[in-house]
Amino acid sequence: MIIIGICGASGSGKSTLAKEIKASLDCDTVIIGQDCYYIDQSYKPFEERVTTDYDDPEIFDHDELLADMDAWAEGKPITRKGYDYANHCRADSSELMNPPDVVILEGIHVFHDPRLMERMDLKVYMHVDPDMCLLRRMLRDTQERGREIEGVAAQYCKTVKPWYDEVVSKYIRRADFAVMHGGRNKGAIEAISAYITVALWAEKAGYNKK
């Protein structure tokens, strides 16, 4: 199993790049969003869940994500994880997901846990202008996640931008390479797809991945 990590600011095009890579591959590929692994807070009142700092790296259940990746590596199925953005709580299901050929992990803090990074075959950082990220986040959260623009703006100023400046922007130092101009960068998509194809061939041929 090949694991690709895609990190970067909120709105930088991580999900788009992941989808473009998946579409370019002729193998069983699964995209896992780190947002699905927020620590469950369904026991809290809605008013309290809304005020949670969802950009703090410690708000994610890194142990759970790591355990799922290890289970897949051992050939075991995992249950599908999910997140309800409108109600700010986990939305997991009992659906079983079998190990794929390729896993694409994407999220603002997928480079936070060194244990998870050790399992990645390729680490990609989305290097996009913060102003463009803000615009994309505004459109996404209001159109796709049922958020009000005032709330999106307040969250950006209070937590998103500070965490980006302090932590997320520094993850570029941990990447194998950076992708410019967003998730539809054709050259980057082709390069990553070629890498995955060779890595899969090597794995199936019995060569060590690293």
Give a yes or no: residue 119 inside a domain: yes
What CATH number has the domain bearing residue 163? 3.40.50.300
210 within some domain:
no
Instruction: DSSP letter for 208, please.
Output: -
Tens of pLDDT, residues 37-80: 999 988 999 988 888 888 999 999 999 999 999 999 999 999 99
pTM: 0.89
Asked whether the predicted pLDDT for residue 14 surpasses 90, the reply is yes
Instruction: Give a yes or no: residue 209 inside a domain.
Output: no
| Residue 188 lies in domain | 2-204
Strand-pair category, 122-127 with 29-33: unpaired
% of the chain surpassing 70 pLDDT: 97
CB atoms within 10 A of CB 76: 12
CB contact at 8 A, 102 and 30 = yes
Is residue 69 situated within a structural domain?
Answer: yes
Average pLDDT, the chain: 90
Contacts of 34 (CB under 8 A, 6+ apart): 60, 65, 105, 106, 107, 108, 109, 110
pLDDT of residue 189: 95
Angstrom CA distances, 31 to 21, 81, 99, 160, 161, stand at 10, 12, 12, 23, 25
Question: Are the CB atoms for 196 and 28 separated by under 8 Å?
Answer: no
pLDDT cut 90: percent of the chain above it: 65
Top-confidence residue, 135 or 11: 11
Residue with tokens 């703006």: 153
Assess contact for 200 and 29: CB atoms under 8 A: no
Q: What is the pLDDT of residue 153?
A: 77
pLDDT digits (tens, 9 = 90+) for 76-125: 999 999 999 888 889 999 999 999 999 999 999 999 999 999 999 999 99
**Model pLDDT, residue 182:** 83
Flag whether 44 is in a domain.
yes
Per-residue pLDDT at 67: 98
pLDDT, tens digit, 9 for 90 and up, residues 154-210 = 777 788 888 988 999 999 999 999 998 888 899 999 999 999 999 999 988 877 655
Give the count of domains, the chain. Answer: 1
Output the CA torsion 98→103→106→109 (10° steps).
90
